[in-house]
C-alpha cells in the first residue's frame, strides 16, 4: 500500500492515524505542497490524481483520493479494529462529527483557500488568520455542544472512532493558528488524551520524514 | 419524518432527492436562510441544531445534521433502493465523487462564505462570482476526468448512486452563477438525464413550497 502524503496536511494526517490504528503497513510518498514547491501540480502527480491534492491511496487496483472516501474504504476492507460503532444511530452521530469537521471547518482553511484569499482580495497574513480562526470557532462551538452529549474519553464514548481521526488534526491545526481553545474544554480534553496513544502520536506532522524541522 | 430544509440549499436538495428515490414520506419544515431573514440563527432552531444550518433530519429519536451523515444513515436504515453500489471498490469510487463535491467545491461556495467575503474583504458581488466560478471549475475539471472513466447514464454506471445526489445540486448551482459548462460534457449529460427522473425533478428548488418565485 502506498500513501501520497504531506506532513502538514490535515486530511493526510487523518489517514495516517487510521493506517496506524489498523496496523496496516504502507509506504509514504511525499508530495511537497509548500507554496513555491507545489509538487501536487507536477505532471506526473496530476496524471495519478487529477485533483492535485493529498492524501491519495494506492492499494492494489484501488486508486483513491478524498480522505473520507479513503477512510470508509479502509473500514470496509480492513475492518479490524472498527472505527465506526456497531449501531445505525451511533454511526450516524460519528459521521455527523466527521462531516462537521470535513465540510464546515477544514475546507475553508485549506492552504489553497488561504492562498486564494491573498491572490483575489490581497488579504494580509493577519486577515487570513482572522478568517481561519472565525471558521474554526464557528465550527468548534456546535462541535463542543455535540461532544458534550456524546463524548467519553473519545469523541463518541470510550472507544476510538473515525470522529477522533478528524478532530485531532483539526485541533493541531487550530493551535498553529493560535485559536483560543478556552471555550472548548471537551475538544481539548479528547485531543490531549488521543495524543497519548502511539497510533495518533506517530501520525503527527512533527513525526513525519518530510517535515523539514524534524 | 421531518426535514428542515431551504429551497436553495444544495445540501438539503441532496437529501430531498434521496427521500424521493427511497419513497419515504416526510414533512418539510422551512428554514429561511435568506440574508436578512436568517431563521437558522433563531433561538428555537439553534436549540434543535446548534450548527444553525440545513438540512436537519428528525426520524423518531434520531436527530441529525450534515447531509452526508444523513444520506449514509438513510442508506443504512432504508436500504431500498440502494444508493451505494455492491462492491467495496465501487463504493469507494462513489464516495470519492461525493466528497470531491461535498468537501472541495460546495463548502467554498456556501451562502455563509460569500457573505463573509463581503464582510471581511469588502468583496463586490462580481468578485464573489469570480471566487465561486473558480472553485467550481477547479473541482469540475478533475470530476469530469473521473466521470469520463466511471459514468454510464449516471455518475457511476447505469444506476443512480449517492454521487448523482451531489452532482445535480452542484450543477444547478453552477448554472445560477453562469459557470461555462462547455468543458464538462459528461457532467452536463448526467445532469440533463437525472432531471428527466421524477425523484430529481420534484426535489428541485423551483418545485419547493418555500420558493417565493414559485
pLDDT by residue, tens only, chain A of 214 residues: 999 999 999 999 999 999 999 999 999 999 999 989 999 999 999 999 999 999 999 999 999 999 999 999 999 999 999 999 999 999 999 999 999 999 999 999 988 899 999 999 999 999 999 999 999 999 999 999 999 999 999 999 999 999 999 999 999 999 999 999 999 999 999 999 999 999 999 999 999 999 999 8
Does the pLDDT at position B83 exceed 90?
A: yes
Band (pLDDT 50/70/90 cuts) for residue B111 is confident
Three-state secondary structure call for residue A29: strand
Q: Tell me, what DSSP letter sits at residue A91? A: H
Query: What pLDDT is attached to residue A198?
Result: 98
Residues 6+ apart with CB under 8 A from B109: B131, B132, B135, B136, B173, B177
Interface of B with A in 107-146 (CB under 8 A): 107-108, 113, 116-117, 120-121, 123, 127, 130-131, 134, 141-142, 145-146
Query: What pLDDT is attached to residue B170?
Result: 98
Interface of B with A in 18-77 (CB under 8 A): 49-53, 61-62, 64-70, 72-73, 76-77
* Residue keyed to cell 489517514: A15
Mean pLDDT, residues B133-153 taken together: 97
Residues 6+ apart with CB under 8 A from A8: A33, A205, A211
Task: Using CA coordinates, name the residue in chain B closest to A94.
Answer: B69
Q: Tell me, what DSSP letter sits at residue A120? A: H
Does the pLDDT at position B71 exceed 90?
A: yes
Give the torsion through C-alpha atoms of A149, B61, B10, A118, to 10 deg: 0
Domains of chain B (ranges, CATH numbers): 2-81 (3.40.30.10), 88-199 (1.20.1050.10)
Q: Are A79 and B46 in contact (CB under 8 A)?
A: no
Query: What pLDDT is attached to residue A53?
Result: 96
Does the pLDDT at position B20 exceed 90?
A: yes
Q: Are A170 and A138 in contact (CB under 8 A)?
A: no
Query: What pLDDT is attached to residue A110?
Result: 87
Does the pLDDT at position B62 exceed 90?
A: yes
Beta strand A27-30 pairing with B2-5: unpaired
Query: What pLDDT is attached to residue B110?
Result: 86
Show residues of chain B in contact with A65, CB under 8 Å: 96, 100
Three-state secondary structure call for residue B69: helix
Amino acid at each position: 500500500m502506498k500513501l501520497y502524503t504531506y506532513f502538514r496536511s490535515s486530511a493526510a494526517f487523518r489517514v495516517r492515524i487510521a493506517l496506524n490504528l489498523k496496523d496496516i503497513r504502507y509506504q509514504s510518498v511525499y508530495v511537497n505542497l509548500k507554496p513555491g514547491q507545489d509538487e501536487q501540480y507536477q505532471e506526473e502527480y496530476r496524471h495519478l490524481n487529477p485533483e492535485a491534492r493529498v492524501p491519495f491511496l494506492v492499494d492494489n487496483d484501488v486508486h483513491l483520493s478524498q480522505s473520507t472516501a479513503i477512510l470508509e474504504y479502509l473500514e470496509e476492507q480492513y475492518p479490524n479494529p472498527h472505527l465506526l460503532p456497531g449501531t445505525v444511530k451511533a454511526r450516524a452521530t460519528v459521521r455527523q462529527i466527521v462531516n462537521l469537521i470535513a465540510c464546515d471547518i477544514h475546507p475553508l482553511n485549506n492552504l489553497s483557500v488561504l492562498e486564494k484569499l491573498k491572490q483575489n482580495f490581497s488579504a494580509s497574513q493577519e486577515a487570513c488568520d482572522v478568517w481561519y480562526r472565525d471558521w474554526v470557532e464557528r465550527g468548534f462551538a456546535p462541535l463542543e455542544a455535540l461532544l458534550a452529549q456524546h463524548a467519553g474519553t473519545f469523541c463518541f464514548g470510550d472507544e476510538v472512532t473515525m470522529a477522533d481521526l478528524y478532530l485531532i488534526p483539526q485541533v493541531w491545526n487550530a493551535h498553529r493558528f493560535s485559536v483560543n481553545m478556552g471555550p472548548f474544554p471537551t475538544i481539548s480534553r479528547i485531543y490531549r488524551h488521543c495524543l497519548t496513544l502511539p497510533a495518533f502520536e506517530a501520525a503527527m506532522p512533527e513525526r513525519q520524514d518530510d517535515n523539514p524541522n524534524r
